[in-house]
Chains A and B, each alone.
Chain A
Amino acid sequence: MTMASIAQLTIGVTDLAAAFLFMYGLKRMSSPVTAPSGIFLAGLGMLVAVLASFFYVFDVSAAAKPHLIVNVVLGVVALIVGGGFAWWGGKKVAMTAMPQMVAIYNGMGGGAAGAIAAVELFGNKASGTTQLVVTLLGALIGAISLSGSLIAWAKLQGVIKKPLRVRGQQYFNILVLLGTLAVAGYLVYVAQGASSQLLPTPQLIYLFFGCALVYGVLMTLPIGGADMPVVISIYNAATGLAVGLEGFVLGNPALMIAGMVVGAAGTLLTLLMAQAMNRSVANVLFTNFGGVPQHKPSHIKGSMKPTAAADAGIFMRYAKSVIIIPGYGLAAAQGQQKLYEFVKLLQAAGVSVKFAIHPVAGRMPGQMDVLLAEAGVPYDLIFQLDDINEEFKATDVALVIGANDVVNPAARTDKGSPTFGMPILNADQAKQVYVVKRGQGKGYADIVNALFYADNCNMIYGDAAAVLTTMIEAVRGLGTKAAA
């Protein structure tokens, strides 16, 4: 056997193993008990595949042979630098900043797929029209995913504060997309052997990538921050698709399988999330949700009644049952540890405490689950919307911490409300509702919340962590006698 066929055999076997480990790993991630071993197995597959990729040196094209040493050095440096920085960032980032971190890594994957396509295009390596079309399609999706993910990062990080909207923006965006597709179509046409062309091929390729990147930016800019979970999920699926397509171009089935599995999984996840908000994915992407200034609708009666954190804490200490609804405000205040400390005090006093999580609470689906897990809250205390919504009626206190739109009864009653039809947590049905909130402002979706004006609701203004500290002190202040 030649070295080339040994290399092909090695890469073939390891890539097959990697594809298996990815799917088996994801499968194991479908239960909290087996999940850590799932990511470990998937990681093992990745490691093996990356190491085996060095066997490509025995099987390179004749043109690349003289550059082989330089290329290997470049590859090692890129692996160490790119992998090292990302590893360090991933280990160091605060749990609350996780959504934007996932957005960044996702954008990197999209960028890598785009870069592979660029090498193929500039090197004129595509054999046949099908390959060229698939390369261009993967490049388009990868580039949009890259620039779109970066904008999503900037929004979540607070670098871009407000959705940027201009009249007629959607039409302009469609024009840019059509323009990008036109350039791609022209590239395919030129490859058929046109005698004269408008621009030299390399310039056309630059133009193509430029347009695709601009489209990703334009498409993401007008989307409100509250919709970023769905957007990140869409770009995650998109990157998977781009990777799968470039895998076809390179003749690498491991890339095809991994990319397509993620593409399908990400699509399903996106649909589940959109469903939880009772909106279509198209509605999320194209209708410029929220951001329209609203005034208190005339039919909302009553006023917001503030109360002291200490009083609320003591009230809960003597309640029978408490359901806690955490939202992004808790994450922003890094209050999850304090919250669990408070919960443990309540539990010690015999109060039944449960957590209710709305599917789109936070900035990423399930972000609240992760935050509570970080604080050490056992996951059998955490309930999802459908499982707990009936219990509010029989519950003494609903404690809403930094959540807003997901408890707004307007979604049930007010047809004019942008969230109308979205399933909400029925916090308003509890006997007493406390809402911990930084100020009197509105939620991320910018809608007035009727719950805050309800008779059974009291507002506690302040930073979630500070409020919880006060509550803890108040309950501790009662001493052990009171607990007996």
Chain B
Amino acid sequence: MDFSIQITGFVALYIFMLAAFAGWVIIGHVPAILHTPLMSGSNFVHGIVVVGGMFALLNASTVQEQTIGFFAVLLGAGNAAGGYAVTDRMLAMFQTSGHASKHHKLGHVKAHRAKAK
């Protein structure tokens, strides 16, 4: 069986169009308070380029290709890992004044479990 993916001409344009529309709609509903985490989050998402870097590196057949491919993976991995670390840290900070913070909830759950034992 052949599972290789062939994307040509108009198929590519359809994918691009639908993806662009999806991105536009998804971001359109984000409140201003989340703009920075969102910019950082979308920055993380294009870190998927690391997968393309892996493809280029694994298919390298000259020292030059290996060198450039190495940097493609290095930079892409940096984009992905750094983007995730930063976004995760930012989002963990948001909480409401309704005492519904995670720490409290977790604390209660732990207390209950301790009692049950």
A residues contacting B by CB (< 8 A) are 1, 5, 8-9, 12, 15, 18, 22-23, 25-27, 29-32, 35-36, 38-40, 42-43, 46, 49-50, 53-54, 56-57, 60-61, 63-64, 66-68, 70-72, 74-75, 77-79, 81-87, 89-91, 93, 95, 98, 101-102, 104-106, 108-109, 111-113, 115-116, 118-120, 122-123, 130, 232-233, 236, 239-240, 243-244, 246-248, 250-269, 272-273, 357, 359, 364-367, 369-370, 373-374, 376, 378-382, 384
Question: Are B5 and A30 within 8 A (Cβ)?
Answer: no
> What residues on A are CB-neighbors of B98 within 8 Å?
378, 380
Say how far A395's CB is from chain B's closest CB, in angstroms. Answer: 20
Question: Are A83 and B80 within 8 A (Cβ)?
Answer: yes
Docked CA distance A42–B88 (Å) = 11
Question: Are B72 and A91 within 8 A (Cβ)?
Answer: no
Partner of A252 from B33, B52, B87 at Cβ < 8 Å: B52
> What residues on A are CB-neighbors of B110 within 8 Å?
none
Q: Which of B9, B15, B29, B81 has the most CB of A within 10 A?
A: B81
Question: Are A260 and B71 within 8 A (Cβ)?
Answer: no
Docked CA distance A22–B12 (Å) = 19
Given known A-B contacts A67-B66, A258-B45, A373-B95, A246 and B52 have beta carbons under 8 A apart: yes
- The B interface is mostly helix, strand or loop, or mixed, namely helix
Mark B29-65 against chain A: 1 for CB-CB distance below 8 A, else 0. Answer: 1111111111111111111111111111111111011
Given known A-B contacts A251-B6, A251-B7, A380 and B97 have beta carbons under 8 A apart: yes
Query: Chain B residue with minimal CB distance to A12?
Result: B3
Partner of B54 from A50, A86, A365 at Cβ < 8 Å: A50
Partner of B81 from A82, A123, A272, A367 at Cβ < 8 Å: A82
Query: Chain A residue with minimal CB distance to B102?
Result: A36
> What residues on A are CB-neighbors of B22 within 8 Å?
23, 261, 264
Say how far A7's CB is from chain B's closest CB, in angstroms. Answer: 9
Question: Are B60 and A30 within 8 A (Cβ)?
Answer: no
Partner of A256 from B15, B31, B38, B95 at Cβ < 8 Å: B15
Say how far B29's CB is from chain A's closest CB, in angstroms. Answer: 5
Given known A-B contacts A90-B85, A105-B86, A119-B72, A29 and B58 have beta carbons under 8 A apart: no
10 contacting pairs across A/B (C-beta < 8 A): A5-B2, A8-B5, A30-B34, A43-B84, A46-B48, A74-B69, A115-B71, A119-B72, A262-B46, A380-B97
> What residues on A are CB-neighbors of B16 within 8 Å?
244, 248, 256, 260
Question: Are B7 and A256 within 8 A (Cβ)?
Answer: yes
Question: Are A91 and B23 within 8 A (Cβ)?
Answer: no
> What residues on B are CB-neighbors of A5 within 8 Å?
1-4
Docked CA distance A84–B69 (Å) = 18
Say yes or no for B106: interface residue by CB 8 A criterion: no
Question: Are A90 and B48 within 8 A (Cβ)?
Answer: no
Question: Are A123 and B78 within 8 A (Cβ)?
Answer: no
Say how far B85's CB is from chain A's closest CB, in angstroms. Answer: 3
Question: Are A109 and B43 within 8 A (Cβ)?
Answer: yes
Question: Are A259 and B59 within 8 A (Cβ)?
Answer: no
> What residues on A are CB-neighbors of B47 within 8 Å?
46, 105, 109
Question: Are A359 and B42 within 8 A (Cβ)?
Answer: no
Partner of B19 from A31, A104, A260 at Cβ < 8 Å: A260
Question: Are A116 and B43 within 8 A (Cβ)?
Answer: no
> What residues on B are CB-neighbors of A379 within 8 Å?
33, 94-96
> What residues on B are CB-neighbors of A256 within 8 Å?
7, 12, 15-16, 19
If A46-B47, A232-B39 are given as contacts, then 4 extra A-B residue pairs at C-beta distance below 8 Å, sorted by A number, are A105-B44, A115-B56, A122-B65, A359-B32
Docked CA distance A233–B43 (Å) = 9
Docked CA distance A104–B94 (Å) = 24
Q: Which of B15, B79, B91 has the most CB of A within 10 A?
A: B79
Docked CA distance A113–B58 (Å) = 16
Question: Are A366 and B32 within 8 A (Cβ)?
Answer: yes
> What residues on A are CB-neighbors of B41 within 8 Å?
25-26, 29, 38-39, 42
> What residues on A are CB-neighbors of B21 within 8 Å?
264
